[in-house]
């Protein structure tokens, strides 16, 4: 198994997110459990391009302090929603021959959804622990409705497993 931590960046990691405190708590618990059980933690950051305020060198682009990578943990950059838009990450994952990917991060309805579906199409067993992704309110749905739509209706039995935190931690420890 490998753990992908997607787009938990300073510019979008704050109280505007649905269930912010529990999202951070659950995500940090998954990351620490992965580290303690020799599951590789891989970070992905979204880059909107120079001058956007959300690009390499910008404060908002940096990984949020709560989930900061440790020395030696891999970091990949992407410019499209799916983490698989980064060819180096895609090749790295393919070379590892690992088929279980646990995915946590932001935002549910953008980069997490795109990555989940891209991983599924590539034959990965995708695992999204409950409470480890989040998003903002939008013009059509509030953050909670958006979260529930993907985590309870869209992904389960189609693209991913969405186990409880306890079940996800059990999967990491196997």
Per-residue pLDDT at 113: 98
Beta bridge partners of 108: none
Per-residue pLDDT at 1: 98
Per-residue pLDDT at 122: 98
Per-residue pLDDT at 34: 98
DSSP class of 20: H
Distance in angstroms (rounded) separating the CA atoms of residues 71 and 83: 21
Which of these, 47, 61, 160, 79, lies nearest to 113 by C-alpha position? 160
Per-residue pLDDT at 129: 98
Per-residue pLDDT at 87: 98
Per-residue pLDDT at 75: 98
Which residue ranges in the chain fall short of pLDDT 70?
none
**Fold classified for 2-173:** Rossmann fold (3.40.50)
Distance in angstroms (rounded) separating the CA atoms of residues 6 and 64: 11
Which of these, 40, 129, 137, lies nearest to 89 by C-alpha position? 40
Distance in angstroms (rounded) separating the CA atoms of residues 35 and 27: 12
Q: Are 44 and 3 in contact (CB under 8 A)?
A: no
Per-residue pLDDT at 136: 98
Per-residue pLDDT at 84: 98
Per-residue pLDDT at 120: 98
Q: Are 10 and 146 in contact (CB under 8 A)?
A: no
- SS3 assignment for 70-101: CCCCCEEEECCCCHHHCHHHHHHHHHHCCCEE
Query: What are the backbone angles phi and psi of residue 147, rounded to the nearest 5°?
Result: -55, -50
Distance in angstroms (rounded) separating the CA atoms of residues 17 and 169: 23
Per-residue pLDDT at 132: 99
Per-residue pLDDT at 69: 98
Per-residue pLDDT at 159: 98
Which pTM value belongs to this model?
0.98
């Amino acid at each position: 198994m490998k753990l992908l931590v997607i787009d938990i960046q300073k510019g979008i990691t704050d109280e505007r997110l649905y269930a912010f405190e529990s999202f951070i708590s659950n995500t940090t618990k998954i990351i620490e459990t992965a580290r303690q059980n020799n599951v590789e933690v891989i970070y992905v950051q979204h880059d909107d391009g120079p001058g956007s305020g959300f690009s390499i060198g910008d404060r908002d682009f940096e990984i949020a302090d709560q989930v900061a990578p440790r020395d030696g943990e891999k970091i990949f950059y992407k410019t499209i929603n799916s983490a698989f838009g980064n060819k180096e990450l895609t090749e790295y994952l393919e070379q590892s021959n690992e088929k279980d990917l646990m995915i946590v991060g932001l935002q549910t309805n953008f980069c997490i959804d795109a990555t989940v579906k891209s991983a599924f199409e590539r034959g990965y067993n995708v695992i999204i622990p409950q409470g480890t992704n989040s998003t903002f309110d939008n013009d059509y749905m509030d953050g909670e409705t958006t979260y529930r739509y993907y985590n309870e209706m869209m992904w389960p039995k189609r693209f991913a497993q969405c186990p409880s935190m306890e079940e996800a931690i059990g999967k990491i420890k196997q």
